[in-house]
Amino acid sequence: MDEEDIVKCTECNGRELERDDARGEIICANCGLVLDDRIVDPGAEWRVFSIEQGEQRGRVGAPMTEMLHDKGLSTDIDWQNRDYSGKSIGNGRTRSQFYRMRKWQKRSRVSNSRERNLSMALAEMDRIASRLELPKSVRERSARIYRHCIKDNLIRGRSIEGVTAACLYLSCRLCGVPRTLDEIAQSARTGRKEIGRTTRLIKRKLKIRADIPTPDMYTARFCSQLGLGAAVSSKADEIIALCHEWEIDCGRGPVGMCAASIYIAGVVLDNRRTQREIAEIAGVTEVTIRNRYKEIVQRLNIDSTNF
DNA sequence: AAGACGAAAGTGGTTGA
DNA sequence: TCAACAACTTTCGTCTT
């Protein structure tokens, strides 16, 4: 888990956290509680003085990933009875030895219920993320949150699907590429209600602070889904910025604000979509778009001449 | 006929006593 | 825990292009 995920010390609520790369720990500066261990040190532990030396010293395998239940680090024993050079491994005795090794390898890897739970969840997570075309960073972060859920016993009594979807929903928001609850729910195997409920629980228990998304986080995606170009998109962002300046957006849902801004931008630039079309993509009703639209036009005095 | 408009009643989540 | 509340939805009749 990143430092951004932990905002407060669970012991004393202190907000000053220190990162210790040498030990791989995150520590509360106030009371000294270790909040997270095994963080990844991004640096190398050796120094290089030339490119060739760097290449020599670099030991690079597949990257560690949160998306595999063993983080991609455990050993595989191939099913073929061949050694490293491809020669077949001979007699019956070594063969049966390999058979036993494979068996125990499998058993030790997905051994307990937690591991099984995790690998199921990660598979489900991957399925939803693929359908929503979510970037890898979002998946990694989501997997990280899920691991913490397991650690804090948040899964018991809840469905894997629900917690998985909630982790993704949260992760999207944390990564600045928010999806609406409806979008997640459409690809998940649970309802919007459960995802929302579980999300709130995770936020509370893991003390994750996720700011409410701003309207401009949706513009690019909605516009491209509507087949609108960069011109409309950036005009919509302009309107959103103005609305924020004039506090027209306070207390309003960000999706509705975005939808209305896109509608106005379309009208202004003579590249319009109907309220119906935008409402469909954004997941709000035409009425909401109309209400926002009315307020914005009124307060900003927008008409065809001044925009 | 499609799109836009707006009134009115209903819904689900948040807040504060 | 419950009621008040604001935002948003649903529904539907009317107006505009």
The domains found in chain A, sorted by start residue, are 1-61 (2.20.25.10), 113-206 (1.10.472.10), 216-300 (1.10.472.10)
CB proximity A291–strand C (7 Å threshold): yes
Sheet with A25-28: list strands edge to edge: A17-20, A25-28, A34-37
**pTM score:** 0.70
* Distance in angstroms (rounded) separating the CA atoms of residues A102 and A85: 19
pLDDT at A106: 57
Distance, CA of A259 to C1' of B12, in Å: 22
Instruction: Give the per-residue pLDDT at A288.
Output: 93
Which pLDDT score, from 0 to 100, does residue A290 have?
A: 94
Protein contacts on strand C: list nucleotides below 7 Å from a Cβ: 6-11
By C1' distance from the Cα of A192, the closest nucleotide is B12
* A272 CA: nearest nucleotide by C1': B3
Nearest nt to the A290 alpha carbon by C1': B5
pLDDT at residue A27, as a whole number: 55
Tokens of A245: 């300046």
- The pLDDT value recorded for residue A212 is 86
Task: Report d(CA A305, CA A89) in Å as an integer.
Answer: 82
Residues of chain A with pLDDT under 70: 1-64, 66-68, 70-112, 302-307
Distance in Å, residue A262 CA to nucleotide C2 C1': 40
Tell me the CA–C1' distance in angstroms for A289 and C9: 12
Residue A59 pLDDT = 52
Q: How far is the CA of A163 from the C1' of B17 (A)?
A: 33
Nucleotide nearest to A273 (CA to C1'): B3
Nucleic strand C contact set for A 242-281 (CB, < 7 Å) = 251-253, 256
pLDDT score of A298:
87
> Which nucleotides of strand B come closer than 7 angstroms to any CB of the protein?
2-8, 12-14
Nucleotide with minimal C1' distance from the CA of A252 is C7
Nucleotide nearest to A251 (CA to C1'): C7
What is the spatial distance, in angstroms and rounded to an integer, between the CA atom of A215 and the C1' atom of C15?
31
